[in-house]
Amino acid sequence: MPKKPYADTPLAKYIEKRVMELKPRKSQIEIAVEAEFVSVNMLSMLKGGSSKLPLDRVPSLARALECDPAYLLRLTLEQVEGDRQRRYNRVAGQASARIRCWFPLRAGP
């Protein structure tokens, strides 16, 4: 599994964009503190895609990022759904490989 499984998600990109937009007014540490993260590194992990946003942190992060909480929730849910889809694809691929072993395809009738 990649070390940054969420790096290319819309959520990671959006958080990075909002942090940059707020940079003239507040630091990344200030945003992390406002979001009530236990570790100020959590914001960096979210931006970099190495961690996903816990659902219970959506409202506080939305306040800290000064963004619409419904939009942030939608991006978070898309990230969770993408995680489920990756797991499904992995399991389905393993099942397909097993089935192909049991019933090899033959060319022609």
Residue 39 has φ and ψ, to the nearest 5°, of -115, 135
DSSP alpha helices (H): ranges in the chain? 10-22, 28-34, 41-48, 58-65, 69-102
**Greater confidence, 56 or 104?**
56
> By percentage, how much of the chain surpasses pLDDT 70?
73
Tell me the pLDDT tens digit for each residue of 62-95.
999 999 999 999 999 888 777 666 666 666 666 5
Architecture of domain 10-102: Orthogonal Bundle (1.10)
Using pLDDT thresholds of 50, 70 and 90, give the confidence band for residue 16: very high
The residues spanned by each domain of the chain are: 10-102
pTM: 0.74
